[in-house]
Amino acid sequence: MISPADYVALAAILFVIGGVGVLIRRNALVVFMCIELMLNAVNLAFIAFARLHGGLDGQVIAFFVMVVAAAEVVVGLAILTAIFRSRRSASVDDANLLKY
Amino acid sequence: MTGTLAVLAPAIPAPRIEYAQLSPLLLVFGAAVAGVLVEAFAPRPLRRALHLPVAFGGLAGAFALTVAVAVASPVFSGGRPGDIAAVGAVAVDLPTLFIQGTIELLALISVLVIAESSHEVSAFAAQAAAVPGSSAERESLAAGISHTEVYPLTLFAVGGMLLFPASNDLVTMFVALEVLSLPLYLLSGLARRRRLLSQEAAMKYFLLGAFSSAFFLFGIAMLYGFSGSVRLSAIAAAASGNTSGGVLLYSGIALLGVGLLFKIGAVPFQAWKPDVYQGAPTPVTALMASCTLASAFGAVLRVFYVAFGQLTWDWRPAMWAVAIVTMLGGSIIAVTQTDVKRLLAYSSIAQAGYLLTGVVAASPAGLAGTMFYLAAYGATIVGAFAVVTLVQGHGGEAAHLSSWAGLGKRSPLVAGVFAFFLIALAGIPLTSGFMGKFAVFQAAISGGATPLVIVGAISSAILAFPYVRVIVLMFFSEPPQDGPVVVRPSGFTTTAVSVGALVTLVLGVVPEPLLRLAHDAAARLFVG
């Protein structure tokens, strides 16, 4: 029997996978996808908690998160496209003009 | 058919929206939308002339409305410290109104710097989509155009900043965080000169900002799981009735803290700050260094005083550690900097540490001290970055310290004003920086955080070294042959620098009125 608490555990696992991906991947697009994975893990957690508490708040919040994530994609892809066009590279290691 | 449905459907009560109390926010967002309409319908030559009254009018009007709401506040229902507006989403209380007023005034000064157009068309890219070094870019530069979208983007960011410290539930706070962050990511990438640096700053800011807001959000999920609500007061109630510890509660506090501390740029979440402050157009850096910091500290204060006010003994040790490494880390790395904007960025990290000592105090005095410090520091740093925009070399701003050598001999006035700002940042008496530090450190001592204050004093002493080095460089060394020139600013930047310097001086000599205002506001505390 799968309980809502198991979904919370799954959400935590997905969140950690996304977080590790952000830290070890080089391609800015993949890094961004890992961040999206983290946001979706949060959505899963909200919905599981909403089920646990028997309320609807968590489900509504998941919609808020989706809308904000969509807005973030628009801004993020605009920035990543601009930087790819000027550098011909989407690697976060190549962007190294600003340091120390 | 429709009649039957109307009978069957339960009556949904219309929500009551307190428009009067929300009017400052609504005006700023309204001005931002008006700016979008200007961008959509006005011909290009007219746009700047239309944007300026909208932006200045919106921000000045919002400040007037904030003052009006604060003056009318004694009639908050039933002697409560404040009111909850918009069906529980937005808190209207005196500390929030103080912070909002501060943000509006600082944004007004920042927009003056943003609007500067005398020495170049503007500080912003002619066409952000044109590849740097391409013929498209040369054409757009030759056409003498620039992105006027910066005005509505700035207003949207300021609107988010006003909502961020006023949010009474964590979902509103998350939305406000994104509303303030998304325009800033874009603004960071819009510099007219050194566009590769600017784009890199935007990418770093965006990726790290999105990463941190994921932590913030997971923290909200944990607290929702713990308390069954995202309302700050409900979380506080659930936390005070909590006897069995609770993984959800503590992981929620930690993750939420990560998201908030990232925004204020506390060590170890400071990595973005020097890069973004250096790469972003300097007027945008001024906006971020003053308004974003004030807004983020407002949110930190609200979350930790309202939602976790009963758990002071649990979060204080962690906040102590963060404050200590932030104060020391920021000041030590500042010593090695060779770029003015980067130096100010590391100094801003150290200032965030001093402000955190006010948060650690967890008392009305700490709240008042932090609010006063935010206003004082904001005016100083906007003025300092406005001066940075004036020192121009061949390829735009000459931010490298070597080109500032001998500036005092060529332009004594500009160098003198900048030296005054640096002295204020170092916290020398008779400047606002001293009074601000004094206010937070005094609150921290009475809150039992004397070791923190000792670390703060050591950090201030370390931080004074790079400032003094810049002053010595400006006044006691020979100017290089083809050094930068100080451009003659129009009234916009002149006003911004003068206001910054005047506020820095006045708050240092007669801090009483503003301090009393902050204490009166803080005495009412946040509404829960």
Neighbours of B495 (CB within 10 A): 16
Residue A23 sits at φ, ψ, to 5 deg, of -80, -30
- The string of DSSP letters for B430-494 reads TSHHHHHHHHHHHHHHHTT-HHHHHHHHHHHHHHHHHHHHHHHHHHHSPPPTT--EE----HHHH
Please judge whether A86 and B197 are an interchain contact, meaning their C-beta atoms are less than 8 angstroms apart: no
The answer to whether the beta carbons of residues B436 and B517 sit under 8 Å apart is no
Contact B438, B405 (CB under 8 A): no
Residue B19: both structure tokens together:
């428009």
For chain B, which ranges sit under pLDDT 50? 1-2
pLDDT above 70: percentage of residues in chain B: 96
CA B213 to CA A35: how far, in whole Å?
9
- Closest to B213 measured CA to CA, from B246, B173, B249: B173
Residues of A at the B interface, defined by Cβ within 8 angstroms:
8, 11, 15, 18-19, 22, 28, 31-32, 35, 38-39, 41-42, 45-46, 48-49, 52-53, 55, 57-58, 61, 64-65, 68, 71-72, 75-76, 78-80, 82-83, 85-87, 92, 95, 97-100
How far apart (Å, rounded) are the C-alpha atoms in residues B444 and B452? Answer: 8
Asked whether the beta carbons of A41 and A19 are under 8 A apart, the reply is: no
Picking from B186, B199, B220, the nearest residue to A86 by CB comes out as B199
* pLDDT attached to residue A24: 95
φ, ψ at B129 (rounded to 5°): -80, -20
Q: Which two tokens stand for residue B381?
A: 């740093």
Interface contact B195, partner A, CB < 8 A: yes
At B173 the pLDDT is 96
Using the beta-carbon criterion (under 8 Å), do A83 and B129 form an inter-chain contact? no
Ramachandran quadrant class, B170 (left: phi over 0; alpha: psi -120 to 50; beta: rest): alpha
Give the ipTM of the model, two decimals please: 0.96
pLDDT at B357: 95
The DSSP-derived string for B332-374 is HHHTT--BHHHHHHHHHHHHHHHHHHHHHH-SHHHHHHHHHHH
Q: What is the pLDDT of residue B105?
A: 97
Q: How many CB atoms lie within 10 A of CB B475?
A: 16
Peptide bond before residue B268 is cis, with ω within 30 degrees of 0:
yes
**Cα distance between residue B31 and residue B27, in whole Å:** 6
Instruction: Quote the minimal CA–CA distance from B221 to chain A in Å.
Output: 6
CA nearest neighbour of B107 among B39, B187, B204, B199: B187
CA distances from A13 to A8, A26, A41 (A): 9, 21, 8
d(CA A40, CA A28): 18
